[in-house]
C-alpha cells in the first residue's frame, strides 16, 4: 500500500489526519492507526457513524432516489411566492461576506444551486468544500460546478460529524436541509467548531413564523409540505453565536439565520459598582447571595445604611466579614 498525500480531510470519528493511499489499484483515505474510508464516484465517503440512525438513513435514501426531480422542480418553491430564485439566493450568500481567497464550506449542498453562486465569488486561491449525506446529490453537484475557477473538495459525510479540523473555514453556509438532521444542535456545534473565530455562518430552512401558523395561508402550504410547521431551532443555536440575526424569506415561510462565530460565552463588565442604596456589582449580586433575613432585620439594615451614607452591599460586606472573622478566631 503506497502513501500519496495527506488529505484535507480528517477522520470524523477520531479527528486524526487522513492520508490517501492506493491499495490494489483502489483509492482510499486512512489514518495511520488503520481507520479506512472508501471513495464513491471519486468522492471520499467519510460518513460516520458507518451505520446511520434511522432518521439520517431515511434522509439519505430519500435524496439518493430523487436527485433529478429534486433539481428539476426546486424552482417551484420560489415560483409559489412570486420570488426570483437567483436574486434571493445571491442575497442569502451576501451574508457570508465572502472574500475571493476564502475557504468556504457548504453543508448539505444538494444539487449545487447555491454552490455555483458561492464558487463564482471565489478566485483560484479560494477553496469551496461541498458536503452532503447523499452520494447521488454530490455526484450531480460535482458535474454542475466542474468548470469553476476555485478549488473544489467534496465529501459524503454526516453534518453531525464533520471531517474537518477546528477553525478551518472562513465562512459556512447551509440552506434547505437543517430540518432533515436528526440532531440539529450537534450539527450547529460542528459548524461552529470548524469555522474560524469571527467567521460568518448562515443557515436556514422551512419554518413559518409562529404568528402565521394558524392562518389559512400556513395550512395550505403545510398540507403539501408539513416541514413548514417544523420548530425553528432557536434553542439549538450555540452560545458562541454573536451578532445573531433572523429573517423570514421566500414569501416569509423560510427562516434565515446568520451569526458571527465567537469564543465561549459572551463577556461583559460585571464588576463596576452599581449606584444606589443597594450597591454591589452584577457579580457580587450573583455570587454573593446569603440566606434571607426577617423583614424587621431588613428594615433595620436599611436604616443603618441611611445613617452611614453607604450602600447595602458595602455595609453587609463589612458586617458579615467582621462577624465571620471574629467567629473563626474562637
Whether 105 and 217 share a structural domain? yes
Q: Is residue 180 part of a domain?
A: yes
| Angle separating helix axes 312-328 and 295-308, nearest 10 degrees | 110
Q: Please name the residues in contact with 165: beta carbons below 8 A apart, sequence gap of 6 or more.
A: 10, 15, 194
**Residue 258, pLDDT score:** 98
Whether 189 and 115 share a structural domain? yes
Q: Please name the residues in contact with 178: beta carbons below 8 A apart, sequence gap of 6 or more.
A: 108, 184, 187, 203, 204, 205, 233
Helix (H) or strand (E) run with residue 248 in it: strand 241-249
d(Cα 31, Cα 46) in Å, to the nearest integer?
12
Asked, as a colleague might, if the bond just before 119 is cis with ω within 30 of 0, I would say: no
**Residue 147, pLDDT score:** 85
Whether 75 and 152 share a structural domain? yes
Q: Is residue 269 part of a domain?
A: no
Q: Is residue 299 part of a domain?
A: yes
What does the pLDDT average to over 221-246? 97
Report the percentage of the chain scoring pLDDT > 70: 99
Whether 187 and 236 share a structural domain? yes
Contact between 240 and 264 (Cβ < 8 Å): yes
Task: Tell whether the model's pLDDT for residue 4 goes beyond 80.
Answer: no
The tens digit of pLDDT for each residue in 28-39 reads 999 999 999 999
Among candidate residues 214, 229, 261, the one where a domain is terminated = 261
**Residue 97, pLDDT score:** 98
d(Cα 124, Cα 194) in Å, to the nearest integer?
22
Mean pLDDT of the chain: 95
Contact between 197 and 262 (Cβ < 8 Å): yes
DSSP 35: -
Whether 203 and 160 share a structural domain? yes
Task: Tell whether the model's pLDDT for residue 23 goes beyond 80.
Answer: no
Contact between 102 and 172 (Cβ < 8 Å): no
Q: Is residue 89 part of a domain?
A: yes
Q: What is the DSSP string of 254-314?
A: EEEEEEEE-SSS------SPPPSSS---HHHHHH-------HHHHHHHHHHHHHHT--HHH
- Residue 28's domain comprises 2-37
Q: How confident is the model at residue 55 (pLDDT cuts 50, 70, 90)?
A: very high
Whether 13 and 80 share a structural domain? no
Whether 91 and 225 share a structural domain? yes
Report the percentage of the chain scoring pLDDT > 90: 91
Whether 184 and 304 share a structural domain? no
Q: Is residue 28 part of a domain?
A: yes
**Residue 146, pLDDT score:** 86
Whether 63 and 25 share a structural domain? no
**Residue 111, pLDDT score:** 96
What does the pLDDT average to over 72-83? 96
**Residue 2, pLDDT score:** 59
Q: Is residue 42 part of a domain?
A: no
Among candidate residues 261, 290, 307, the one where a domain is terminated = 261
The tens digit of pLDDT for each residue in 182-222 reads 999 999 999 999 999 999 999 999 999 999 999 999 999 99
Whether 25 and 73 share a structural domain? no
What does the pLDDT average to over 239-266? 97
Q: Rounded to an integer, what is the distance from CA 286 to the centroid of its chain?
A: 30
The tens digit of pLDDT for each residue in 106-159 reads 999 999 999 999 999 999 999 999 999 999 999 999 999 988 999 999 999 999
Q: How confident is the model at residue 25 (pLDDT cuts 50, 70, 90)?
A: confident
Q: How confident is the model at residue 1 (pLDDT cuts 50, 70, 90)?
A: low
Pairing of β 26-30 and β 2-10: unpaired
Whether 181 and 295 share a structural domain? no
- Give the count of beta carbons closer than 10 Å to the beta carbon of residue 162: 28
Which domain CATH number covers 104?
Answer: 3.40.50.150
Task: Tell whether the model's pLDDT for residue 3 goes beyond 80.
Answer: no
**Start-to-end C-alpha separation, the chain:** 77
**Residue 24, pLDDT score:** 77
- Give the count of beta carbons closer than 10 Å to the beta carbon of residue 260: 17
Total domains in the fold of the chain: 3
**Residue 300, pLDDT score:** 92
d(Cα 205, Cα 229) in Å, to the nearest integer?
11
**Residue 217, pLDDT score:** 98
Q: Is residue 277 part of a domain?
A: no
**Residue 123, pLDDT score:** 96
Q: Rounded to an integer, what is the distance from CA 249 to the centroid of its chain?
A: 19
- Give the count of beta carbons closer than 10 Å to the beta carbon of residue 236: 16
Q: Is residue 46 part of a domain?
A: no
Question: Which residue has 462565530 as its cell numbers?
Answer: 261
Task: Tell whether the model's pLDDT for residue 245 goes beyond 90.
Answer: yes
Whether 75 and 140 share a structural domain? yes
Amino acid at each position: 500500500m503506497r502513501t500519496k498525500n495527506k488529505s484535507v480531510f480528517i477522520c470524523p470519528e477520531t479527528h486524526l489526519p487522513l492520508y490517501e493511499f492506493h491499495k490494489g489499484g483502489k483509492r482510499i483515505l486512512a489514518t495511520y492507526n488503520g481507520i479506512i474510508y472508501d471513495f464513491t464516484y471519486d468522492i471520499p465517503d467519510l460518513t460516520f457513524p458507518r451505520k446511520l440512525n434511522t432518521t439520517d438513513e431515511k434522509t439519505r435514501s430519500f435524496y439518493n432516489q430523487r436527485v433529478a426531480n429534486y433539481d428539476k422542480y426546486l424552482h417551484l418553491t420560489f415560483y409559489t411566492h412570486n420570488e426570483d430564485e437567483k436574486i434571493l439566493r445571491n442575497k442569502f450568500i451576501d451574508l457570508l461576506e465572502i472574500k475571493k481567497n476564502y475557504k468556504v464550506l457548504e453543508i448539505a449542498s444538494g444539487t449545487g444551486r447555491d454552490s455555483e453562486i458561492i464558487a463564482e465569488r471565489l478566485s483560484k486561491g479560494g477553496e469551496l468544500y461541498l458536503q452532503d449525506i447523499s452520494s447521488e446529490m454530490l455526484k450531480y453537484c460535482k458535474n454542475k460546478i466542474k468548470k469553476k475557477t476555485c478549488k473544489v473538495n467534496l465529501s459524503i459525510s454526516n453534518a453531525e460529524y464533520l471531517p474537518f479540523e477546528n477553525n478551518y473555514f472562513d465562512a459556512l453556509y447551509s440552506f434547505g436541509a437543517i430540518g432533515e438532521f436528526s440532531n440539529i444542535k450537534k450539527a450547529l456545534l460542528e459548524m461552529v467548531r470548524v469555522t474560524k473565530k469571527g467567521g460568518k455562518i448562515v443557515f436556514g430552512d422551512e419554518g413559518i413564523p409562529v404568528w402565521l401558523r394558524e392562518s389559512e395561508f400556513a395550512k395550505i402550504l403545510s398540507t403539501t409540505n408539513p416541514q413548514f410547521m417544523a420548530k425553528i431551532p432557536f434553542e439549538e443555536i450555540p452560545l458562541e453565536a454573536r451578532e445573531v440575526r433572523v429573517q423570514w424569506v421566500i414569501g416569509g415561510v423560510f427562516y434565515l439565520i446568520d451569526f458571527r462565530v465567537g469564543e465561549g460565552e459572551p463577556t461583559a463588565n460585571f464588576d463596576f459598582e452599581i449606584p444606589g442604596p443597594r450597591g454591589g456589582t452584577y457579580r457580587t449580586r450573583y455570587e454573593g447571595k446569603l440566606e434571607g433575613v426577617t423583614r424587621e432585620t431588613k428594615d433595620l439594615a436599611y436604616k443603618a445604611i441611611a445613617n452611614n451614607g453607604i450602600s447595602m452591599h458595602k455595609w453587609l460586606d463589612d458586617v458579615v466579614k467582621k462577624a465571620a472573622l471574629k467567629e473563626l478566631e474562637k
